[in-house]
């Protein structure tokens, strides 16, 4: 599949390719150009040329195009979901949710096309100020491989509605569905150059995009270490930044919780997308009164998950996305076992044998009896492994929940309002869920504190972040 530059399919300046393969089978799916700095320059030029006319359209006209694009995504959702499962690995049910989720996001932004609103400031005799919100110019979006379609929606929706033009850099493992959706956006009436997609390695095309002096804002989702490098590069020309980085979300289950519901929450929260989600449940804190019962139910459910090719009906969990991912998760378990940090209650090894030998499958894994200061809790585990800690009370749970460099999401499972209040006030996170985890509808701001990032995506605040104010001072 080719890149999309200035509304047309583009090869790389130098004709070399990146192969995209199915992580469940190793099957070759397609190839995309290994883009270069020249390709990024061409895309930024196209976006710059398209900016004036796009910014002059009404937000309503821009919103209508997003709305039409959402309709085309819905029309093609089956093919898009299948492509996403083939390149990413997740079960087709999850891919379908993700593709529909992207349409929901575009529709949401189309629906708030009356924004961003400005304001009038009366200065009495000295005059009046009219403050409007204007777009920034050419923006860059850098996407990871775990939720490429939703994250594309989070960036494309507000950036384009606000009147910016965009150059998007997908992850090399999952560029295909992003490119297909960009094509649908053209079909929906997006003028040439408004959305450009350049494929290629992060250190080359991604870095060239961030460093480009004409880029006014970068919205990046990915690893913390990459986020730090991006900040340095963007600072060199003062580009605005949204950084959505890693997370190590705690889930706290109190003694008064609805236990079966919380067990389902932990199962979905940890094993959805094979655990490769920034806001997955990555640390489970159980009140000691219910810990044993909870673990008995959770272990049975975890062992009952059907792991397999995401295209097969009935699959609950697909493969990890790459050999590197499989290697990382295997090392986490090996090192945790060597340090004797807990007891493996389910899984704990790769899934091998007929049907699994060409893919990157790991068994859904539970580790019980983990001490609060165990090494395994210090880093983000980006895969299907859940360490479980037993706590004596809420204060201990909150203290341990905050014992992390991250602060993306957190959940508390309880029926008690005072518990909710204390968790909401004291746990450091961008979102606190009560009796659920993971869900982030388009209206809800999403982003973290501490090393989980800066800025927010989703909701009307994200739209604001793609604009700046401009003031007309009327001295009567
Ligand atoms: P990654 O940082 O390796 O890659 C993300 C993107 O950045 C890719 O497109 C990559 O090509 C590009 N990139 C890599 N190096 C670059 C550079 N030097 N300059 C510019 N671009 C570069 O991350 P990943 O492994 O794809 O994603 C996994 C990480 O993303 C996890 O830590 C996860 O928690 C995080 N994540 C966060 C959120 C969130 O919203 N907070 C959402 C999803 C994933």
Indicate the average pLDDT of the chain. Answer: 96
Of 59-68, 113-122, 228-237, 252-261, the range with the lowest mean pLDDT is: 113-122
Query: What's the gap between Cα 321 and its chain centre?
Result: 15
Mean pLDDT of 311-320: 97
Instruction: Point out the catalytic residue in the list 87, 94, 98, 278.
Output: 278
Q: Are 101 and 150 in contact (CB under 8 A)?
A: yes
Q: Are 248 and 401 in contact (CB under 8 A)?
A: no
Task: Say if residue 69 is preceded by a cis peptide, omega within 30 of 0.
Answer: no
Q: Decide: helix, strand or coil at residue 434.
A: strand
Mean pLDDT of 220-237: 97
- Full strand arrangement of the beta sheet holding 385-391: 343-346, 365-368, 385-391, 281-287, 249-253, 409-413, 431-434
Q: Are 333 and 348 in contact (CB under 8 A)?
A: yes
Q: What is the pLDDT of residue 229?
A: 97
Answer yes or no: is pLDDT of 116 > 70: no
Q: Are strands 431-434 and 409-413 parallel, antiparallel or unpaired?
A: parallel
Kindly report, residue by residue over 131-170, the tens digit of the pLDDT: 999 999 999 999 999 999 999 999 999 999 999 999 999 9
The 8-class DSSP code of residue 31 comes to E
Q: Whose CA is nearest to atom 8 of ligand 1?
A: 171
Mean pLDDT of 88-115: 95
Kindly report, residue by residue over 398-418, the tens digit of the pLDDT: 999 999 999 999 999 999 999
Q: Are 111 and 459 in contact (CB under 8 A)?
A: no
Q: What is the pLDDT of residue 117?
A: 74
Answer yes or no: is pLDDT of 353 > 60: yes
> Cα separation of 37 and 207, whole Å?
9
List residues near ligand 1 (CB under 6 A): 142-147, 169, 171-172, 202-203, 206-207, 210, 221-223, 226, 229-230, 244-247, 278, 380, 382, 408, 452-453
> Cα separation of 75 and 378, whole Å?
44
Q: Which of 36, 90, 144, 244 to mutate to test the pocket of ligand 1 (most atoms within 8 A of CB)?
A: 144
Mean pLDDT of 250-273: 98
pLDDT exceeding 90 applies to what percent of the chain?
A: 97
Q: Hey, which residues does 423 pair with through a beta bridge?
A: none
Give residue 350's pLDDT band: very low, low, confident or very high (50, 70, 90): very high
> Cα separation of 135 and 214, whole Å?
14
Kindly report, residue by residue over 187-202, the tens digit of the pLDDT: 999 999 999 999 999 9
Instruction: Please confirm, yes or no, whether 278 is among the known catalytic residues.
Output: yes
Instruction: Point out the catalytic residue in the list 87, 94, 98, 244.
Output: 244
Ligand 1 mean position, distance from CA 208 (Å): 15
Q: What is the pLDDT of residue 115?
A: 59
Q: Hey, which residues does 119 pair with through a beta bridge?
A: 131
Ligand 1 mean position, distance from CA 223 (Å): 4
Ligand 1 mean position, distance from CA 199 (Å): 14
Kindly report, residue by residue over 15-53, the tens digit of the pLDDT: 899 999 999 999 999 999 999 999 999 999 999 999 999
Ligand 1 mean position, distance from CA 108 (Å): 25
Q: What is the pLDDT of residue 355?
A: 86
Instruction: Please tell me the pTM assigned to this model.
Output: 0.96
In this structure, how many other beta carbons lie within 10 angstroms of the beta carbon of residue 299?
Answer: 16
Ligand 1 mean position, distance from CA 280 (Å): 16
> Cα separation of 241 and 373, whole Å?
34
């Amino acid at each position: 599949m080719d890149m999309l530059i200035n509304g047309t399919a583009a090869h790389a300046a130098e004709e070399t390719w990146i192969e995209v393969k199915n992580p469940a089978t190793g099957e070759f799916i397609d190839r995309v150009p290994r883009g270069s700095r020249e390709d990024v320059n061409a895309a930024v030029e196209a976006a710059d040329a398209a900016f004036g006319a796009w910014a002059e359209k009404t937000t309503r006209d821009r919103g209508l195009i997003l709305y039409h694009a959402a309709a085309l995504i819905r029309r093609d959702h089956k093919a898009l979901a299948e492509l996403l499962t083939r390149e990413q690995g997740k079960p087709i049910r999850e891919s379908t949710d993700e593709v529909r989720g992207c349409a929901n996001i575009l529709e949401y932004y189309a629906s708030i096309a009356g924004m961003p609103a400005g304001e009038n400031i009366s200065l009495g005799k000295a005059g009046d100020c009219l403050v409007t919100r204007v777009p920034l110019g050419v923006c860059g979006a850098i996407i990871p491989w775990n939720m490429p379609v939703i994250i594309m929606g989070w960036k494309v929706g507000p950036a384009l509605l606000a009147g910016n033009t965009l150059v998007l850099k997908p992850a090399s493992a999952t560029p295909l569905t992003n490119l297909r959706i960009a094509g649908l956006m053209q079909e929906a009436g997006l003028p040439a150059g408004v959305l450009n997609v350049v494929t290629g390695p992060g250190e080359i095309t991604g870095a060239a995009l961030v460093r480009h002096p004409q880029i006014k804002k970068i919205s990046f989702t990915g690893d913390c270490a990459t986020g730090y490098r991006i900040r340095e590069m963007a600072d060199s020309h003062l580009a605005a930044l949204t950084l959505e980085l890693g997370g190590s979300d705690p889930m706290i289950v109190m003694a008064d919780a609805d236990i079966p519901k919380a067990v389902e929450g932990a199962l979905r929260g940890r094993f959805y997308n094979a655990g490769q989600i920034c806001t997955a449940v990555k640390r489970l804190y159980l009140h000691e009164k219910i810990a044993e019962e909870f673990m008995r139910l959770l272990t049975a459910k975890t062992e009952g998950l059907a792991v397999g090719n995401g295209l097969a009906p009935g699959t609950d969990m697909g493969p990890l996305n790459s050999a590197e991912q499989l290697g990382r998760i295997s090392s986490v378990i090996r090192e945790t076992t060597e340090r004797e940090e807990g007891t493996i209650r389910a899984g704990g090894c790769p899934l091998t044998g007929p049907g699994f030998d060409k893919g990157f499958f790991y068994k859904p894994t539970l580790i019980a009896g983990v001490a609060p200061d165990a090494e395994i809790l210090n880093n983000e585990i980006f895969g299907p492994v859940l360490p479980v800690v037993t706590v004596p009370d809420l204060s201990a749970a909150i203290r341990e929940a905050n014992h992390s460099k991250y602060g993306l999401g957190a959940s508390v499972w309880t029926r008690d309002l005072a518990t909710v209040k204390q968790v909401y006030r004291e746990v450091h996170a961008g979102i606190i869920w009560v009796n659920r985890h993971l869900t982030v509808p388009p209206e809800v701001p999403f982003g973290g504190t501490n090393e989980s990032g800066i800025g927010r995506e989703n909701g009307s605040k994200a739209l604001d972040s793609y604009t700046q104010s401009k003031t007309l001072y009327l001295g009567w």
